[in-house]
Chains A and B, each alone.
Chain A
Amino acid sequence: MMNTRTKIIGQAVPLLDKNIDTDVIIPQTELITVSKKGLGKGLFARWRYHDDYQLNENFILNNGCYKSASIILAGENFGCGSSREHAVWALLDYGIKCVIAPSFGEIFYNNSYKNGLILIKCQERIINQIATLACSNENNLLNITIDLEKSCIFLFLDHQFPFDMESRVRDYLINDLDEIKESLLLNEKIESFQKVDRKKREWSYFSF
């Protein structure tokens, strides 16, 4: 279960390529496990390591300044491709709490909030602005604050960037919702639907 939270504060790292897919976020060689834990070491493995698994110092996450970053500033369509939820588990296990991008892969988007990973949709122009402000001075990275209740990203006192978030998703992130528990409360309704539907579409239910 995820932790209740309304606000996170952390450093941001720019990874502004478009269409960063979940194969890049966690390659297939790094996800062969029945566990959801410990996947952080495989995060961005092909970019983070050389082919002998030595750290690739040129990859931005390996730059000392960004070592403790917990927010990724990304390009459009982040998390596209494969449905592998391992991508979310890997980001969280590594220490990423939030990704800000103009758009996200749809399956990845659903996977994220269900695990407490915050995804914020922002215009590319604003993301570039945040990147310039928060990441320009590499020796003195600014903390940025993500406030879910106020739906706002705060940089300095005078730099605020409001964002839209679906109420359902916000609720989920803040109140640690248990969707399965909620849906199980509707069990009676589900069963009566199946009962009626079975009459209408008997052929769909293997009752032959």
Chain B
Amino acid sequence: MSTLLDKIWASHVIHQFEDGFDLIHVDRHLIHEVSSPQAFSGLKDRGIKVKSPALTFAVEDHIVSTLPNRTVHTEPSGVELINTLRQYTEDNNIKLFDLDHRNQGIVHVVAPELGLILPGQVIVCGDSHTCSLGALGALAWGIGTSEVEHVLATQTIRQRKPKAMRVIFNGKMNSYVTAKDLILYLIGQLGVNGGAGYAVEYAGEAIDAMSIEERLTICNLSIELGAKYGFMAPDIKTIEYLYDREYSPKQKQWQQAIMYWQTLFSDSDAVFDKEIVIDVTKIDPQITWGTTPQDVISITQTVPDSTLYRNNNTQQAEKALSYMDVKPNQSLMGLKIDNVFIGSCTNSRINDLRQAAKFIKGRKVASHVKAIVVPGSKQVKKQAEQENLHEIFLAAGFEWREPGCSMCIGLNSDKVKPYQRCISTSNRNFEGRQGPYARTHLASPIMAAACAIAGCITDPRQMTEV
């Protein structure tokens, strides 16, 4: 009667401390240029090297320029961070996917597509959206720089086992509704603190029906629920997805892996600390109106009355309304927008670009809107170009960029200008997230595409496909 969490956790415990913490083996440690270089200096001070460099992979993604023909110097503020990461990875014999590497891209997009993430593994990375990788049936979570240093030194992490929550998505998704809408809806229901202390296992008919890419989108937003971990049991789709990827196990080991992966599910009599059931047939396209991901409504709904905001927290609601320059009881439809961003570890995979392109084909981005597409990785970009999706985006007036975190976090020059409004397929609508005073509305790639064309917030279902 074990949960999948129990099974993966137990298989990684090296040592149990009396204080309730466990020493857990880390199977893959992913690092990047913004949160990880600071960890290496501590190792240097101790005179030790990285414990398992073969299990450690580095990517340049957070601060890199996304402009065509970029070099390290296109984004001057990132040069020191990038060069420091390059030096440390070289000194420690760690594989680095640098700016010019054919596998470069956003860490959480690159790692699955290379077959670096396998079911039953424990994965950590100095980035909170590492929970995305749970979509492959792994237990993956974001850590801070001190923890990065600990993992580099020992290939382990000290962690208290989280509680188990299961979210079951029942039913079939309506048309124009995506994985992004499901997870935003869930966050709206449970709140940004609703998953705190839990590892969330997603299950149910709607999850079973999803591609791995859609599952990555679901798991990606677990942290916006307050849950460090989100994951799903592997199934035949997971196995098909991983088959023959660059770093996937091959031949005899592939066979052994499949045998092992078939044991990775929550037993039918497993007990969860919390269980939530969601009927997905009731979910419409979602969009956020405020400054946390829980501030979300269906496109047909109106912005809540501040006096009815969560636990009568009127003051908080008013602050968010004022920051976003929206009014209580207002419909968002028709609200003029300035930017559209299609990208980020949430929604920058080939499926996301296909969905957006399908909507955009034969149409033009409204003249006042600056719209960019930032593919999640070089591989995604290449695939999209083979399918001529870039032609569709470019013809419509979108910019077609190089891979990176870009306007999701605004570390590089891809920022939303102060007080401008952006429809973004990313994961955080926090104050200033996309740039100082930027106003972010989170939505799916379909919604983002529709809004780019309309020049304002719109219901994609009211626009027919060309």
| B243 adjacent to chain A (CB < 8 Å) | no
Q: Name which of B247-255, B344-352, B374-382 contacts chain A.
A: B247-255
| B101 adjacent to chain A (CB < 8 Å) | no
| A36 adjacent to chain B (CB < 8 Å) | yes
A130 to B256, CA, bound (A): 59
A83 contacts which of B48, B120, B144, B433 (Cβ < 8 Å)?
A: B144
Question: Can you spell out 24 A-B residue pairs with CB atoms less than 8 angstroms apart?
Answer: A21-B292, A21-B428, A24-B431, A32-B63, A32-B411, A51-B437, A81-B223, A81-B224, A107-B228, A111-B145, A183-B154, A183-B158, A184-B153, A186-B154, A186-B156, A190-B51, A197-B25, A200-B260, A201-B11, A201-B260, A203-B249, A204-B118, A204-B120, A208-B250
B394 CB, min distance to chain A CBs, angstroms: 28
Known: A23-B428, A28-B411, A180-B46. A51 touches B436 (CB 8 A): yes
| B366 adjacent to chain A (CB < 8 Å) | no
A80 CB, min distance to chain B CBs, angstroms: 6
Identify the interface centre among A85, A105, A115, A186: most chain B CB within 10 Å of its CB: A85
B38 contacts which of A36, A179, A205 (Cβ < 8 Å)?
A: A36
- Determine if A203 and B15 form an interchain contact, defined as CB atoms under 8 angstroms apart: no
Question: In the complex, which residues of chain B have a beta carbon less than 8 angstroms from the beta carbon of A10?
Answer: none
B291 CB, min distance to chain A CBs, angstroms: 9
Question: In the complex, which residues of chain A have a beta carbon less than 8 angstroms from the beta carbon of B328?
Answer: none
A194 to B11, CA, bound (A): 11
Residues in B97-143 with C-beta less than 8 Å from chain A: 118, 120-121, 126-128, 142-143
A157 to B125, CA, bound (A): 46
- Determine if B432 and A27 form an interchain contact, defined as CB atoms under 8 angstroms apart: yes
A112 CB, min distance to chain B CBs, angstroms: 9
A110 to B42, CA, bound (A): 18
- Determine if B251 and A111 form an interchain contact, defined as CB atoms under 8 angstroms apart: no
Question: In the complex, which residues of chain A have a beta carbon less than 8 angstroms from the beta carbon of B142?
Answer: 83, 107
Question: In the complex, which residues of chain A have a beta carbon less than 8 angstroms from the beta carbon of B118?
Answer: 203-204
B228 contacts which of A85, A106, A180, A204 (Cβ < 8 Å)?
A: A106
1/0 per residue, CB under 8 A from A, across B411-439: the answer is: 10000001000000000101111001100
- Determine if B121 and A204 form an interchain contact, defined as CB atoms under 8 angstroms apart: yes
1/0 per residue, CB under 8 A from B, across A81-115: the answer is: 11111001000000000000001011110110011
- Determine if B228 and A183 form an interchain contact, defined as CB atoms under 8 angstroms apart: no
Residues in A151-204 with C-beta less than 8 Å from chain B: 166-168, 171, 179-180, 183-184, 186-187, 189-190, 193-194, 197, 200-204
A103 to B193, CA, bound (A): 9
- Determine if B154 and A46 form an interchain contact, defined as CB atoms under 8 angstroms apart: no
Question: In the complex, which residues of chain B have a beta carbon less than 8 angstroms from the beta carbon of A62?
Answer: none
- Determine if B81 and A110 form an interchain contact, defined as CB atoms under 8 angstroms apart: no
- Determine if B80 and A34 form an interchain contact, defined as CB atoms under 8 angstroms apart: yes
Question: In the complex, which residues of chain A have a beta carbon less than 8 angstroms from the beta carbon of B260?
Answer: 200-201, 203
- Determine if A32 and B126 form an interchain contact, defined as CB atoms under 8 angstroms apart: no
- Determine if B63 and A83 form an interchain contact, defined as CB atoms under 8 angstroms apart: no
- Determine if B430 and A21 form an interchain contact, defined as CB atoms under 8 angstroms apart: yes
| A128 adjacent to chain B (CB < 8 Å) | no
- Determine if B193 and A81 form an interchain contact, defined as CB atoms under 8 angstroms apart: no
Residues in B1-46 with C-beta less than 8 Å from chain A: 11, 14-15, 17, 19-21, 23, 25, 27, 34-35, 37-38, 42, 46
B54 CB, min distance to chain A CBs, angstroms: 6
Question: In the complex, which residues of chain A have a beta carbon less than 8 angstroms from the beta carbon of B14?
Answer: 186, 189-190, 193
Known: A183-B158, A186-B23. A35 touches B192 (CB 8 A): no
Residues in A4-32 with C-beta less than 8 Å from chain B: 17-19, 21, 23-24, 27-29, 31-32
- Determine if B54 and A190 form an interchain contact, defined as CB atoms under 8 angstroms apart: no
A180 to B25, CA, bound (A): 14
| B239 adjacent to chain A (CB < 8 Å) | no
- Determine if B120 and A201 form an interchain contact, defined as CB atoms under 8 angstroms apart: yes
Question: In the complex, which residues of chain B have a beta carbon less than 8 angstroms from the beta carbon of A190?
Answer: 14, 23, 25, 51, 154-156
B86 CB, min distance to chain A CBs, angstroms: 12
Question: In the complex, which residues of chain A have a beta carbon less than 8 angstroms from the beta carbon of B459?
Answer: none
A180 to B150, CA, bound (A): 6
- Determine if A85 and B35 form an interchain contact, defined as CB atoms under 8 angstroms apart: yes
Known: A34-B80, A80-B193, A187-B154. A203 touches B256 (CB 8 A): yes
- Determine if A46 and B436 form an interchain contact, defined as CB atoms under 8 angstroms apart: yes
A5 to B390, CA, bound (A): 58
**Closest A residue, CB atoms, query B121:** A204
Question: In the complex, which residues of chain A have a beta carbon less than 8 angstroms from the beta carbon of B432?
Answer: 23-24, 27-28, 46
| B171 adjacent to chain A (CB < 8 Å) | no
A36 to B84, CA, bound (A): 14
- Determine if B193 and A19 form an interchain contact, defined as CB atoms under 8 angstroms apart: yes
Known: A23-B431, A83-B127, A110-B147. A28 touches B410 (CB 8 A): yes
- Determine if A115 and B146 form an interchain contact, defined as CB atoms under 8 angstroms apart: yes
B197 contacts which of A23, A106, A193, A203 (Cβ < 8 Å)?
A: A106
- Determine if B144 and A111 form an interchain contact, defined as CB atoms under 8 angstroms apart: yes
- Determine if A46 and B437 form an interchain contact, defined as CB atoms under 8 angstroms apart: yes
| B319 adjacent to chain A (CB < 8 Å) | yes
B276 CB, min distance to chain A CBs, angstroms: 19
- Determine if A204 and B27 form an interchain contact, defined as CB atoms under 8 angstroms apart: yes
**Closest B residue, CB atoms, query A167:** B19
Question: In the complex, which residues of chain A have a beta carbon less than 8 angstroms from the beta carbon of B158?
Answer: 179, 183
B118 CB, min distance to chain A CBs, angstroms: 6
